[in-house]
Amino acid sequence: MNIITINNLTKIFNPNSKSSRVTALNNFSLTVNESTIFGLLGPNGAGKTTLIKILLGIVFPTSGTAEILNKKIDDYLVRKHVGYLPENHKFPLYLTGEDVLKYYAQLSGCSKEGLQEKIDSLLKLVKMYKWKRTKVKSYSKGMMQRLGLAHALIADPKIIFLDEPTDGVDPLGRKEIRDILLELKSEGKTIFLNSHLLSEVELVCDRVAILHKGSLVREGTVVDITTQKEIYEIKINQKLDSEIVRKSTEGFSFSQKDDYTLHLKVESPEQRDKLLDKFRQNGISIEAMLPLKTSLEDMFINLIHETDNREDNE
Ligand SMILES: Nc1ncnc2c1ncn2[C@@H]1O[C@H](COP(=O)(O)OP(=O)(O)OP(=O)(O)O)[C@@H](O)[C@H]1O
Ligand SMILES: [Mg+2]
């Protein structure tokens, strides 16, 4: 079931000012399924935070619509089911970790019954229990993020929006946060995550979208978008001879990775068969032929460069 549906959202800040007009989102559409972890990626200023703020009713869209749990986002009752960890959040420094959770529990209308147990179990979940009586002003960045995550969970939300949740958290802490996200997903919660940390997103997200200058440039599963369907890696069982390589790959664009491996661009299954025939005709036996996989990071960088180059040439 779709839990978030976004239709053609556009947000223009300062529309009437020539000098400060910014199109933060441009005709953006997306759907997110229930009980999944969705990652929204994009460079600084891409529009990621603006999108979350629109979905939460903090910023109004210029045009377009969105629904959460099949309810229009301007229906404020829907926010009862939503938790939010803002980027660069700040809690009152004179409160302890435990006080922060009590304060937000009251703001969210949580029942007082069982509240202390709930607070303790959330603090244990984010490994902050032993700091519960320490004032927030002495917390490190990583501790603040963990407390922020606990505060986003206080009202037992169905959907959790996390804006850069691992910002400032060390590698061990990031792994712990990833494990918490997976646990929340297994409990049926949906998580919408904004992040710059592509390697992390790769490890936890079921689907990802890439946003650049307000527009959606790619969306799919991590496997889908990191597999280059047109480029194949071919492994040969003998050292490659440059003359035979030239004869076998005539008409194809290719690069040689090492003595036994080639990368070839193949645009259709027919072309792929033709290529295999040519290798066989030249007495070369192929050990493996697989679509080339790139890391999410490499794919992201290529995609952003490609989009920028296309715009420069227009
Ligand atoms: N209140 C505002 N008034 C004017 N412009 C804004 C406002 N909020 C955001 N913007 C602009 O909208 C664009 C998108 O900003 P946004 O904060 O959504 O990006 P982001 O993808 O979250 O970036 P980051 O990765 O740095 O957090 C930027 O150009 C930003 O300067
Ligand atoms: Mg942001």
CATH number at residue 150: 3.40.50.300
Instruction: Say yes or no: 231 and 209 in one domain.
Output: no
Instruction: Say yes or no: 116 and 205 in one domain.
Output: yes
Domain-located, residue 148: yes
Domain-located, residue 301: no
CA of 195 to the centre of ligand 2 (A): 8
- Identify the pLDDT of residue 292: 83
- For the entire predicted model, the pTM comes to 0.86
**Euclidean distance between CA atoms 239 and 280, whole angstroms:** 15
Domain-located, residue 219: no
- Identify the pLDDT of residue 114: 92
What are the Cα distances from residue 70, in Å, to 219, 294, 304? 21, 36, 33
> Which residue among 152, 182, 213 closes a domain?
213
**Euclidean distance between CA atoms 70 and 3, whole angstroms:** 7
CA of 266 to the centre of ligand 2 (A): 38
Contact, 112 vs 74, CB < 8 A?
no
Instruction: Say yes or no: 169 and 287 in one domain.
Output: no
Domain-located, residue 66: yes
Which ligand 1 atom sits nearest the alpha carbon of residue 42? 21
Q: Could you say which ligand is closest to the alpha carbon of residue 62?
A: 1
CA of 61 to the centre of ligand 1 (A): 13
- Identify the pLDDT of residue 8: 97
Which ligand 1 atom sits nearest the alpha carbon of residue 14? 4
Of all protein residues, whose CA lies closest to atom 2 belonging to ligand 1? 13
Domain-located, residue 151: yes
Domain-located, residue 192: yes
Structural domain that includes position 17: 2-213
pLDDT digit of tens for each residue in the chain (314 aa)?
A: 889 999 999 999 999 999 999 999 999 999 999 999 999 999 999 999 999 999 999 999 999 999 999 999 999 899 999 999 999 899 999 999 999 999 999 999 888 999 999 999 999 999 999 999 999 999 998 899 999 999 999 999 999 999 999 888 888 888 989 999 999 999 999 999 998 888 888 889 999 999 999 999 999 998 888 887 788 888 988 888 888 888 888 888 888 888 888 888 888 888 888 888 888 888 888 899 888 888 888 888 888 888 888 777 77
CA of 45 to the centre of ligand 1 (A): 5
Instruction: Say yes or no: 127 and 103 in one domain.
Output: yes
Looking up residue 250, the CATH number of its domain turns out to be 3.30.70
Instruction: Say yes or no: 58 and 117 in one domain.
Output: yes
Instruction: Say yes or no: 168 and 35 in one domain.
Output: yes
Name every residue whose Cβ is closer than 8 Å to that of residue 21 and which is 6 or more positions away in sequence. 12, 13, 14, 15
Contact, 149 vs 183, CB < 8 A?
no
CA of 111 to the centre of ligand 2 (A): 32
Instruction: Say yes or no: 163 and 41 in one domain.
Output: yes
Considering its fold, how many domains does the chain have in total?
2
Domain-located, residue 218: no
What are the Cα distances from residue 97, in Å, to 57, 101, 169? 27, 7, 17
Binding pocket residue ranges, ligand 1, CB within 6 Å: 13-14, 22, 24, 42, 44-50, 87
10, 12, 13, best to mutate for ligand 1 pocket (most atoms within 8 Å of CB): 13
Instruction: Say yes or no: 155 and 181 in one domain.
Output: yes
Instruction: Say yes or no: 191 and 255 in one domain.
Output: no
Instruction: Say yes or no: 20 and 100 in one domain.
Output: yes
Instruction: Say yes or no: 104 and 188 in one domain.
Output: yes
Which ligand 1 atom sits nearest the alpha carbon of residue 53? 18
* Residue with tokens 């792994």, as numbered in its chain: 175
Of all protein residues, whose CA lies closest to atom 7 belonging to ligand 1? 13
Instruction: Say yes or no: 113 and 154 in one domain.
Output: yes
Report the C-alpha dihedral over residues 101, 188, 162, 219, rounded to 10 degrees.
Answer: 180
Domain-located, residue 258: yes
CA of 50 to the centre of ligand 2 (A): 7
50, 166, 197, best to mutate for ligand 1 pocket (most atoms within 8 Å of CB): 50
- Identify the pLDDT of residue 256: 84
